[in-house]
Amino acid sequence: MSDALSPVFAALADPTRRAILAMLLEDDMAVTDVAAPLSISLAAVSKHLGVLARAGLIQQEKRGRVVWCKLDPDAMRGASAWMQGFGQFDDLDLDALEALLGDPNPGD
């Protein structure tokens, strides 16, 4: 059995990689443009991009001497479907919980 979700969740676990995905959500970008707003080296950005590519979250294409990165719009579909399986639980209603437990300070 293949576990396609583990690489996706491992890639999403890092805040730098999530920031990169957010940038690529707007438009395709050259690697140097991805690196520009980040406070890490170009080599570190390339490693993060490699993790995202291996997880299938992005695609990279070399055009001349420039490597372009593109978000794969279907890449998170499996992870999203898995997480939606947990959507059966209602949000916690704190007001109802307080009423159920009773107000320990009546009249306040």
Torsion (CA) 35, 38, 40, 44 in degrees, nearest 10: -50
Q: Kind of pairing, strands 58-63 and 66-71? A: antiparallel
Is the pTM for the entire model greater than 0.85? no
Fold of the domain built from segment(s) 5-87? Arc Repressor Mutant, subunit A (1.10.10)
Give the residue, 97 or 21, on which the prediction is more confident.
21
Give the count of beta carbons closer than 10 Å to the beta carbon of residue 79. Answer: 17
Q: What is the distance between the alpha carbons of residues 100 and 54, in angstroms, rounded to a whole number?
A: 49
> For residue range 32-72, what is the model confidence (pLDDT) as tens digits?
999 999 999 999 999 999 999 999 999 999 999 999 999 99
Residue 99 has pLDDT above 70, yes or no: no
Residue 104 has pLDDT above 60, yes or no: no
